[in-house]
Structure 1
Amino acid sequence: MPTAPRSRCLVCRTGWAVTRGRCADCYTPWEQRSQHGQKITRRQRERFRTAVLRRDPVCRACGEADATEADHVIPVADGGSLHDVANGQGLCHACHDIKTRAENASRNTRRARRSP
């Protein structure tokens, strides 16, 4: 049975990829365990969304558009509460997209600095 050819590390390009496209020297595990592994039902998610959007009918970031998305103020991946409405804010789609991209870029930069 044919197998895929071995590939070079995506980071240093010298070692052979072992885990997630990186060699053993370049692979860095996540800073902390993600809370996305928690079990949350569809009903709990909908309750959170409904409560946040009822409290914030207008986008908290721009203050102009209707809030259509319930966002976590402190991201769950950074230790924010998954269920607590106090950790939620209503944002329009555009502002939510900007905030999420900035958080992901920041997290990736922190992670890249930690790798050798």
Structure 2
Amino acid sequence: MLRHYESLGLLPPVARTGSGYRLYGEKEVHTLRFIRRARDLGFSMAEIAELLKLWQNRRRASGQVKRIAEAHIADLDRRLAEMQAMRRALAELARCCHGDDRPDCPILDDLSQGALP
């Protein structure tokens, strides 16, 4: 992941030892912790890049940060609603399935309706 972060410009290239190990200072470790926390909150790499720029810019307006966070919240809400709808649909299909030795299965029937011939 470190190479990936460097390639995305999230982390600057750092000095290396003679054997090729990266030498991270306190600043880089702090940046890595920032990235990790943002990832834990589900931000995309593009969002993390923007948040990092804002974090490093002491003249930033907090409104910019809040807009990114609120857009992410809206995306999470949308995804949660989609997942809840999927769960309801699947729970209903599972409820309709007898789950016995018979070959008929409403779950497979429903799935096959969307399958291409």
What is the TM-score when the length of structure 2 is the normalising length? Answer: 0.26
What is the TM-score when the length of structure 1 is the normalising length? Answer: 0.26
Structure with higher helix content: 2
Instruction: From the CA coordinates, give the structure whose radius of gyration is larger.
Output: 2
Structure with higher strand content: 1
Greater relative contact order structure (CA < 8 Å, 6+ sep)? 1
